[in-house]
Structure 1
Amino acid sequence: MHLKLIIFDSSAAKLWGSFIYLDFYSYYKMIFLLTISALILVIFLLYLRTEDLLITKYYFPMIIYAIFILLAAVFTEYSEIVIKGFPDRFENSYVLLAYLVLTVVSLNLVAEKESVFFLLKGLLVASALLSIQGIFQFYNLDLLTTSFGKHLVTPSGLEFFTNQLSFIGKKVIYSTLYNPNYVGSYAVMVLALALTFFMLAKRKRELWVWGFLTLLYYSFLVGSRSRAGFLSFLAVMVLLIIILGRQLKKNYCRLIVILFLFCLIFAIMGARSVDSIFSDILFPLSESELAKEALILPPITQVDFNSKKHILTLFTTEAKFKFILQDSQFKLLQPDSALTIVKRNSSGVEYDFLQFNLSKHQFLANYKSTLKWNYGSKKAVFVYQDSKLYLKGIQGHLFPLTKVEHWGFSGYERLGSSRLYIWSRTIPLLKKTFFIGHGADSFAMYFPQQDVVGKLKYFNDPAILVDKPHNLYLQIAINTGVLSLLALLVLWLSYLAQSINLYFKASFNCWEQKTGLAVMLAIAAYLMAGFFNDSVVSAAPIFWILLGIGIRINLKQLD
C-alpha cells in the first residue's frame, strides 16, 4: 500500500474525470504480483524437467481462458485500459494471466506437506496481522489515520497529498484492501481454512492455536460488514458440518463453543444487525413495498418530459412536481402556492416547501433553461438544450432522458445496495461478448453510464460511476467473454465436485485429507462471495494459489 501518481489516457479520463489518478491500494499490488509471477515463471521453466510436469485435465479450461484473455486484448477498443488496467482496480490482462501462472506453478510444485504448510503459514500469519490492524481500525485506532501512518504510505515529493487523505471511518474494516467487500472475500477464505483445521485438530495446542485464529479471522470478517462474505461463510459452515458429520459427533462440544463465541463476537462488535444481513435474501421487498413501509424514501422515482408542452414532471413518493419551461426558465406549477416559498435573486428562482414531507426538496430554476434539484446531499441538474431535455451525469456530461436496455429484477433494483440495478443493465451487454470479451478491466467503458435516470432512481446520484458489476461471473463474462466464463466454471466445478467426492466420506486421518478439505472450503467460500463481489488484485491471487494447491492435493490422493 503506497501512493502512486498515474497518468491515464483520454478514454479512462473521460469517465474518471481526470488524467491524473492517485492510487494507494492497487497499483503497487499489481506491480508486485506481475514481478513475482514473472520471476516464478522463469524459474519454473528453467528448472522443471519435462518429465516432472504434472499432466492433468485441469490445464484445458485454463488454456481456453488464457486464449480468450489474449483475444479480448487483441480486439479491444481500449488497449491502454486492457494493458494498464482501470483506475482503482488495475486488474489488466497481464494480471489475469499471472493468476493462471500462480495456479499452474503451485499445482506442480506445492505437493509435499512441508511446501504446502510453508505457504499456508505465510498466508495465515499475514492474515492475522491484517486482522489485528483491521480490528484496531474498526475501533477508530487505525495507524493509517495518524501522521506517521499517512507519511508511511506517501513517497517523497508527494507529501502535500498527505493532508488530503480521507478514510472510511470507524465501525468498518477496509484494512489495506481499500473496500470492505474485498475484505469479506479475503477474510472468508482464511476463516474457512482456520475453522476446518480447528474442527479437525487432535492436539490441545493445535486446538488453541486454530481456535484463536478462527476467532481472529471471524472478527476481521464481521468488522468488514460484508454481507457477501458473511453469507458465504454461513454456507461454508453448513457444508463443513455436513461433511464432518461423523467427526462432529465425537467433537460436538467444540462446535457448540465456537458457535457461542461467534455469536458473542457478533454482538460485541455490533457491526451489523441480523436483519440487515438476511432481509434482502430471505424477505426481498420491491421498490414500492420498501417505500410503503417507509424503509426507503426514493426522492425521485420517475422523470417525464412533454416536449410539446415543455412540461417536466418529477415523481416522488411524497408528491408530484410539475415545471413548465417559459422564457428559458422552469416555473413551478404548484396548486397550493400558500405552502410554497419563492425566493428570487440574480441566479434565478428558488422554490422551498413548508409541508413537512416536502421540506427536504429544494429547486433552483435559473435563467439558462436549467433546473437544479436538491434533496439533502443528493442532487440532480436538468438542462434544456437544442430542443431536448438533458440530465447532468458522470463528470458533468449531459445525457438525454432515454431508456436503457435492461433485463430482469424489475421493481427490486435497489436490493443488495443496488446490485440488482447494475446486473439488470449488465446482462443485456452479454449479447456482444459471447465469443470475445471487451477486454480486461474494461467493464466501466461499456456499462450504460448514460442511464442517468436509472442512477438517479436507484443510487440517488445520476453522476455516479459504475466501474464494476459487483459479480465475479458477470465481470468475467463482460471482460473476457461468456465462453471464457464457461471454461472457468468447468475448472472450478470439476475441482469442487472431485473434492466433495473425496472428502464426503473421508476419515481425515492424514494431512492431505484435512488440508484438502480446508482448501476446498476456502475456494467454495470465495466463489460464493463472488456472486456479490468482484475479482480484485488484493484478494484474487490468494484464491488462485489455493486453487492450485487444492487440485494438487486431490490428485495426490487419487494416485
Structure 2
Amino acid sequence: MDYNKYYKKTKVKSERKIERVNNIDVKESISIDKTIYILLVIALVIIPLFIKAHITEFISPKLTFLSTGMQADIFSYYKYTFLIILTIIVAVLFVYKLLFLQYNISKRKSNLFLGILAVVVTLSAIFSPYKSVALHGMFNRHEGAITFICYLTLFFVAANTKYSIKQMHGLLYCLYPFVIINMILGIAILKGKNLIDIDWIHNFILGSIPEGAQISEGAKIWATVSNPNFISGIGAVLTVLFLTWAIFDQNKVRAGINVVVAAMSMSMIFTSLSTSGFLTIIVLLPVVFILIFFNERKVKPFVVLLAFVILATSIFIPLANKDPRVWNETFGFVIKENPFVKLQAEDNSNKNNNTAQMDTVSDVNLRKGVFKKGLSDIFLPSKAYADGNSNANDTNKFEIPTLPASSSSAGSGRAYIWEKTIETAMKRPILGYGLDTFVYVFPQNDINKVTGLGTHNIIVDKPHNIYLALLMGSGIFALLAFVTLVGAVLFMGVKAVLKRHITQQENAVMFALLTASIAYLVQGMFNDFVIGATVIFWILLGVLVSILHQATSSKKTF
C-alpha cells in the first residue's frame, strides 16, 4: 500500500481545515474589534458628558474637616460607574480574542512600562494608609486605583485593536457633542443664564436626590466636568485636535467643519475663565507650525489657521465685552492692560462709587471709636491670659505669635501647593499614599498656608498637576513609568513623521492624535486627572499606538 499518497492527501485536508479555521478566527476577530470600537465610541460619548446627582454615604478614614455622612456628587459617580462597566465588557471581549481567536499581542517596550504602572498603582492602594479612598477615590472625584486601572485597560485594548479609516474618523466625530454642549453651558453661564433652572434639565440632573434635599442657593452647572480648570484644559486639547485635523485633512468639507469645531472648543477655554488652556495653546502652536512643514500643500494650512483665528476672534470679542475676565484669563497673561474694562467702567461707576462710600464710612466709624473703650481689646486681643485676668503681670502673659502676611504664590497658589506636595511625597517616595488621598495627607494646617493661598480657609484637595498627583498617590516609580510610557508613544509618533511611515489617509488623524496627546500632557502641568477628560486622553492615546503599529509593523516595534 502506498502510505505516502495517503499521508499527503490527509495532510492537504488537514491544512485546508486549519486554513478554514484560521479564516473563521480572523473574521470573528474582526467582528470583536468592531464591537470593541463601538464600546470605545460609547465611552467617549457618554462618560465625558453624563452628569446626574447621586447621594452616597461617605465614611471618612479619620476625624478631620471632612465629615462622615451623606454626601452629594453630580459630576463623577455615574461617570465612574459607566467607566467600570464598559471597561469590564471591553476587557472580556479582548481576553476572548486573545485566548480563543489566536490573537497575538505585539511585543512592545511600552507594554513593560504599562505593566509596571498598573502593578505600582495597585500596590499603592494595598499599602495605602487610607485604603478605601485609595481604591475608589473621594466621593466627589472617584480618581482612585480602580479608575486608573480602567484607564490603562482601555488604553491597552485600544492599542491592540485595528481600525479602518472610517472608524478612526468616527472616534473623533463622537467628541463633537462634548464640545457643543460644553460650549453652550459656558456661554450661558457667562451671560447670566443658568441652564439648571430649565425644568427638564433640573429634573434629569437632580431628580434622583431624596425629597427634602436641596442644592446650594445659586448653584450653577458650568460644564459637564466638575471644575472650570478642567474644562479649560480639555478645551485646549480638543482645540489642538480638531485644528490639526483640519490642517492636514484632504477632505475640504470635513476640514471646514473641524475648523468650526476647533473654534467652538476654543470658546470652552474663554468661558472657563481659567488660564491653563490658553497657555497650552500657546505652547502647542510652535508644534503645529513645525508639523505644517511636513504637509505637501503649504498654502492650505495657513488658510485654515486664518479661518480659525477669524472664528475664534468673533467668539472672543462678544464674550470679553460681556465679562472682561475673559481677557484677563487669556491675553491678560501676557498683556496686563485690559481694553474691555474701560467699556464697562462707565456702566459700573455708580455702583463702584456707592461701594467706596460704604467702605469709607466703615473706616471712619472705627477711627472715631464707635466701639466702647476696651471692647475691641476683648474681642480682638493681641495677648492671651491663662487666668483670664487682664491685670496680671506681663510675665504671665502669652504673646500670640504674629502670623505671616496674606499673599498668593505664583500660578494662583499652585507654586505653594506644588512645593508642599513634593515635601509630603518624599516621606513615602516608593508607593505614595494612594491615589486621590491627597486631601488627607496635604499639610492643611501649615502656618505658611496664608502666604501661599491668601487664606487659611481653603481645603487643598488636589495638587493641580497630574505628575505630582501620581508622585503623591503612587510614588516615584509610578511617575517614571507613566512618563516613560507616554514618552515612548510620542517618540514613535515623531519617528513616524520624520520617516513618513504613515499613509496619506492616516496622516491627518495621526497628526491630530499626536498633537492632542502632547496638549494633554502640557495642560496636565496645571490640572488634575478627572474622569470626564482623562478617559478621552487614554483612549485616543491607545488609538494613536494602534495607528503607529499598523504603519510600522514591518519595522522595529516600541
Measured against the shorter chain, the TM-score band is: 0.7 to 0.9
Q: Is residue 376 of structure 2 the alignment partner of residue 350 of structure 1?
A: yes
Q: Could you say which structure has the higher helix fraction?
A: 2
Is the CA contact 2:54–2:72 (under 8 Å) kept in the aligned structure 1?
yes
Aligned to 1:132: 184
1: CA distance between counterparts of 2:111 and 2:402?
Answer: 48
Is the CA contact 2:59–2:68 (under 8 Å) kept in the aligned structure 1?
no
Aligned to 2:123: 71
Aligned to 2:432: 437
Deviation at 1:488, TM superposition (A): 0.6
The structure-2 alpha-carbon separation of the partners of 1:366 and 1:389, relative to structure 1 and needing over 3 Å to count, comes to closer
Aligned to 2:263, which of 215, 219, 228? 215
Residues 474-504 of structure 1: CA distance to partner in whole angstroms, max 9, x if unpaired? 1110001111101111011121122122225
2: CA distance between counterparts of 1:510 and 1:338?
Answer: 75
- AA matched with 1:365: L
Q: Is residue 282 of structure 2 the alignment partner of residue 234 of structure 1?
A: yes
2: CA distance between counterparts of 1:282 and 1:494?
Answer: 37
- Residue aligned with 1:414, SS: coil
The structure-2 alpha-carbon separation of the partners of 1:143 and 1:277, relative to structure 1 and needing over 3 Å to count, comes to closer
Residues 421-459 of structure 1: CA distance to partner in whole angstroms, max 9, x if unpaired? 1112111123223211110111111110111x3233333
Aligned to 1:59: 111
Q: Which runs of 5+ in 2 are unaligned?
A: 1-50, 337-364, 386-395, 554-558
- Residue aligned with 2:371, SS: strand
Larger radius of gyration: 2
Residues 254-284 of structure 1: CA distance to partner in whole angstroms, max 9, x if unpaired? 322322332332222215455644666899x
Is the CA contact 2:229–2:274 (under 8 Å) kept in the aligned structure 1?
yes
- AA matched with 1:80: S
- AA matched with 2:367: L
2: CA distance between counterparts of 1:116 and 1:160?
Answer: 47
Aligned to 1:531: 525
- AA matched with 1:349: L
Q: Which runs of 5+ in 1 are unaligned?
A: 284-336, 352-362, 371-385, 391-399, 404-409
The structure-2 alpha-carbon separation of the partners of 1:100 and 1:525, relative to structure 1 and needing over 3 Å to count, comes to same
Aligned to 1:143: 195
Would you say how many aligned residue pairs link Structure 1 and Structure 2? 459
Aligned to 2:143, which of 91, 104, 108? 91
Q: Is residue 415 of structure 2 the alignment partner of residue 420 of structure 1?
A: yes
Aligned to 1:373: none
Aligned to 2:299: 250
Q: Following superposition of structure 1 onto structure 2, how do residues 120-199 of structure 1 map, counting pairs within 5 Å?
A: 120-156=172-208, 158-162=210-214, 164=216, 166-168=218-220, 174-199=222-247
- AA matched with 1:127: V
The structure-2 alpha-carbon separation of the partners of 1:139 and 1:50, relative to structure 1 and needing over 3 Å to count, comes to farther
Q: Is residue 548 of structure 2 the alignment partner of residue 554 of structure 1?
A: yes
Is the CA contact 2:384–2:398 (under 8 Å) kept in the aligned structure 1?
no
Q: Is residue 163 of structure 2 the alignment partner of residue 111 of structure 1?
A: yes
Q: Which structure is higher in RCO with an 8 Å CA cutoff and minimum separation 6?
A: 2
The structure-2 alpha-carbon separation of the partners of 1:154 and 1:242, relative to structure 1 and needing over 3 Å to count, comes to same
Deviation at 1:32, TM superposition (A): 1.3
- AA matched with 2:487: L
Aligned to 2:15: none
- Residue aligned with 2:375, SS: strand
Instruction: Decide which moves more: 224-233 or 131-140.
Output: 131-140
2: CA distance between counterparts of 1:341 and 1:482?
Answer: 58
The structure-2 alpha-carbon separation of the partners of 1:281 and 1:30, relative to structure 1 and needing over 3 Å to count, comes to farther
Residues 104-161 of structure 1: CA distance to partner in whole angstroms, max 9, x if unpaired? 1111114332332232222233433333343333323332233432222123452433
- AA matched with 1:519: L
- AA matched with 2:84: L
Is the CA contact 1:110–1:116 (under 8 Å) kept in the aligned structure 2?
no
2: CA distance between counterparts of 1:38 and 1:151?
Answer: 30
1: CA distance between counterparts of 2:369 and 2:201?
Answer: 49
The structure-2 alpha-carbon separation of the partners of 1:454 and 1:367, relative to structure 1 and needing over 3 Å to count, comes to closer
1: CA distance between counterparts of 2:327 and 2:62?
Answer: 39
Is the CA contact 1:413–1:420 (under 8 Å) kept in the aligned structure 2?
no
Instruction: Decide which moves more: 148-157 or 57-66.
Output: 148-157
1: CA distance between counterparts of 2:282 and 2:478?
Answer: 29
The structure-2 alpha-carbon separation of the partners of 1:10 and 1:203, relative to structure 1 and needing over 3 Å to count, comes to closer
- Residue aligned with 2:379, SS: strand
The structure-2 alpha-carbon separation of the partners of 1:402 and 1:63, relative to structure 1 and needing over 3 Å to count, comes to farther
Aligned to 2:470, which of 468, 471, 476? 476
Is the CA contact 1:150–1:162 (under 8 Å) kept in the aligned structure 2?
no
Give the aligned CA root-mean-square deviation in angstroms. Answer: 3.3
Aligned to 1:34: 84
Is the CA contact 2:444–2:459 (under 8 Å) kept in the aligned structure 1?
yes
2: CA distance between counterparts of 1:197 and 1:338?
Answer: 63
The structure-2 alpha-carbon separation of the partners of 1:481 and 1:280, relative to structure 1 and needing over 3 Å to count, comes to farther
1: CA distance between counterparts of 2:546 and 2:437?
Answer: 33
2: CA distance between counterparts of 1:489 and 1:402?
Answer: 40
- Residue aligned with 1:47, SS: helix
Deviation at 1:162, TM superposition (A): 4.0
Is the CA contact 2:449–2:456 (under 8 Å) kept in the aligned structure 1?
yes
Aligned to 1:377: none
The structure-2 alpha-carbon separation of the partners of 1:457 and 1:367, relative to structure 1 and needing over 3 Å to count, comes to closer
- Residue aligned with 1:350, SS: helix
The structure-2 alpha-carbon separation of the partners of 1:119 and 1:152, relative to structure 1 and needing over 3 Å to count, comes to same
- AA matched with 1:21: Q
- Residue aligned with 2:454, SS: coil
Aligned to 2:315, which of 265, 281, 284? 265
Is the CA contact 1:342–1:350 (under 8 Å) kept in the aligned structure 2?
no
Aligned to 2:509: 515
